[in-house]
Amino acid sequence: MVVQIKEYSSAEEIAETLDKEISETKSTLGEYLRRLDDIRALAEKSKKIREVVMKLAGKKSINRKPRRNIRRQPKHSARRKPVP
């Protein structure tokens, strides 16, 4: 964890610093959102191309959903096998 101690000479300086940091954060968020939109558009194009290729190949289109990696634990029964 990093801790910074800053000194300000006035409340105006604090307000200016906060406004600057907010502006930088908004700008960074905007860039991330633009990247996300680009990636989303690319994923949609890729999905459409895959569907066309599968259709041309005569295979059924498979809508893949991510699998959840959950293993079920076996239920312990009241009866236990005797130990030899």
Let me know: does 25 contact 31? Beta carbons within 8 Å.
Answer: no
Residue 5 lies in a domain: no
Domain hosting residue 24, numbered range: 11-61
Helices and strands in the chain, H and E counts? 1, 0
Q: Where does the pLDDT of residue 59 fall: very low under 50, low under 70, confident under 90, or very high at 90 and above?
A: confident
Q: Does 81 score more than 90 pLDDT?
A: no
Tell me whether residue 45 is in a domain: yes
Residue 25 to residue 18: CA distance in whole angstroms: 10
Q: How far is CA 1 from CA 7, 21, 66, in A?
A: 20, 20, 35
In a domain, 24, yes or no: yes
Assigned domain for 79 exists: no
Query: Could you tell me if residue 32 is inside a domain?
Result: yes
Inside any domain, residue 28: yes
- Residues 69-82, mean pLDDT to the nearest whole number: 59
In the chain, % of residues over pLDDT 90: 65
DSSP annotation of 10: S
Report the candidate in 50, 74, 72 with the shortest Cα–Cα distance to residue 63. 50
pLDDT digit string, tens, across residues 60-69: 655 666 666 6
Mean pLDDT of the chain: 85
Domain count, the chain: 1
> What would the mean pLDDT of 38-54 be, rounded to a whole number?
95
What is the model's pTM? 0.55
Q: Is residue 30 part of a domain?
A: yes
